C-alpha cells in the first residue's frame, strides 16, 4: 500500500501516524511517499512536488495507492497529471483510493483514459481517527484488497417504500464530491458519461449551493444523460432562519422533478465515517426495491 499526498498539507501528524499504524496492524505492507508530509502554503508541497508524488504512486506497483487527505490542490494540476502512468497502474491492479479533492483526479483520469479508480477513505480522517475506524469502511476496504468486494447495499429512507423499483444494467458508475465535480463542467476533465449512475456527496455546502451546483450539471446536460443519481451524505452545513424550510429535502424534490433519472438518497458515502468504496468508471448494475438499494460491479480493478 502506498500513502501519498496529492492535495492539502497534512497538519494532523498524529492522525497520519495512527493511520499508518492501523494499516500495518491490519497486515498491510505500508510504504509512505517521501513527500507525504511536505507543506507549501496550504498544499502538501508545491505543484511539482505533488505531481511527482502522484507519479511515484502510479509507479509504486502497490495494490492500493491511498491519499493521506483531501483538501484542495488537484484541480490546478489537471493539465499536468501523468494520465498514462496512472491508467497503466490502474490496469495492472493498483487501486487508487480517495475522495473529496481526489474527485478531480478520478474524473479527469476517467475522462482522459477510461481508467477505474476508487471512491473511498483517506488515511488521516478514516484510518487515523482516535479510537477504532468505522467497521463498515474497514470491511469494504478489506473486501477491495481481497478482490471480494462486488457491490454495496444500503437502506433507503422510509418515504421510498412506495417508489417504483429501479433496475439499471451495465451503466458506468462515476461521481464524487459535488463541488469538485461541478467545478469541472465546461472543461475537458469532466467525463462524458452517457446512461451512467452518478453519485454525489459534499461537506460544508449549504443546500442552496448544492442546488446551484446540481443546476449547473442539469443545464450542462450532465444529469439528463444519467440513468440514476445517487445522493450520498451532505453534511457540515447549518440551516438558517432565512431558509424557512428550504433544505436538502427541497433540493432532492426539486431534482426529482427535473430529471428522468432515478434519484436515490442515503448512499453511505461522503465526509462521514461510514463509507462504502465505489469503483469510479466501472460498469455496474443498480437495483432498488422498497427500501433496499444495491449497486453491483463486476471485475473492477
Active site residues: 100, 201, 271
The residue whose grid cell reads 497538519 is 11
> Which residue ranges make up the site for a copy of itself (CB under 8 A)?
8-9, 11, 39, 41-43, 72, 75-76, 78-79, 179-180, 182-190, 208-209, 211-213, 215-216, 219-220, 222, 242-246, 250, 254
Between the alpha carbon of residue 2 and those of residues 87, 115, 194, 201, 300, the distances in Å are 16, 19, 33, 25, 19
Task: Report residue 216: phi and psi, to 5°.
Answer: -60, -45
Task: Report residue 227: phi and psi, to 5°.
Answer: -85, -30
Nearer to a copy of itself, 59 or 216 (CB): 216
Task: Report residue 29: phi and psi, to 5°.
Answer: -90, 105
Nearer to a copy of itself, 41 or 148 (CB): 41
Closest approach of a copy of itself to the CB of residue 92, in Å: 29
Nearer to a copy of itself, 171 or 222 (CB): 222
The rounded Cα 37 to chain-centroid distance in angstroms is 22
Closest approach of a copy of itself to the CB of residue 186, in Å: 3
Closest approach of a copy of itself to the CB of residue 243, in Å: 5
CA distance 299 to 169: 15
The residue whose grid cell reads 453519485 is 199
Closest approach of a copy of itself to the CB of residue 42, in Å: 5
Beta-carbon neighbour count of residue 146 at 10 Å? 8
Nearer to a copy of itself, 70 or 279 (CB): 70
Amino acid at each position: 500500500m502506498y500513502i501519498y499526498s496529492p492535495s492539502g498539507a497534512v497538519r494532523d501528524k498524529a492522525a497520519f501516524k495512527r493511520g499508518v499504524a492501523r494499516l500495518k496492524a491490519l497486515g498491510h505492507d505500508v510504504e509512505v511517499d517521501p513527500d507525504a508530509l511536505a507543506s507549501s502554503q496550504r498544499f502538501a508541497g508545491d505543484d511539482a512536488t505533488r505531481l511527482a508524488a502522484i507519479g511515484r504512486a502510479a509507479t509504486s506497483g502497490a495494490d492500493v495507492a491511498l491519499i493521506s487527505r483531501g483538501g484542495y490542490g488537484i484541480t490546478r494540476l489537471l493539465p499536468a497529471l501523468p494520465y498514462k502512468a496512472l491508467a497503466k497502474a490502474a490496469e495492472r491492479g493498483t487501486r487508487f483510493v480517495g475522495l473529496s479533492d481526489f474527485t478531480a483526479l478520478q474524473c479527469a483520469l476517467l475522462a482522459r483514459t477510461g481508467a477505474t479508480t476508487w471512491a473511498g477513505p483517506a488515511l488521516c480522517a478514516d484510518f487515523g481517527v482516535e479510537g477504532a475506524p468505522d467497521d463498515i469502511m474497514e470491511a469494504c476496504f478489506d473486501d477491495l484488497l481481497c478482490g471480494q468486494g462486488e457491490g454495496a447495499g444500503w437502506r433507503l429512507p422510509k418515504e421510498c417504500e412506495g417508489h417504483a423499483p429501479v433496475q439499471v444494467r451495465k451503466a458506468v458508475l462515476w461521481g464524487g464530491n459535488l463541488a469538485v465535480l461541478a467545478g469541472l463542467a465546461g472543461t475537458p476533465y469532466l467525463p462524458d458519461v452517457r446512461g451512467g449512475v452518478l453519485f454525489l456527496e459534499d461537506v460544508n455546502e449549504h443546500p442552496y449551493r448544492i442546488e446551484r451546483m446540481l443546476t449547473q450539471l442539469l443545464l450542462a446536460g450532465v444529469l439528463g444523460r444519467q440513468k440514476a443519481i445517487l445522493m450520498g451524505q451532505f453534511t457540515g452545513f447549518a440551516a438558517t432562519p432565512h431558509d424557512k424550510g428550504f433544505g436538502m429535502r427541497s433540493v432532492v424534490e426539486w431534482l426529482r422533478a427535473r430529471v428522468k433519472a432515478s434519484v436515490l438518497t442515503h448512499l453511505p458515502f461522503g465526509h462521514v465515517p461510514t463509507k462504502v468504496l465505489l469503483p469510479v468508471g466501472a460498469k455496474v448494475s443498480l437495483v432498488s426495491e422498497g427500501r433496499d438499494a444495491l449497486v453491483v460491479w463486476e471485475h473492477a480493478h
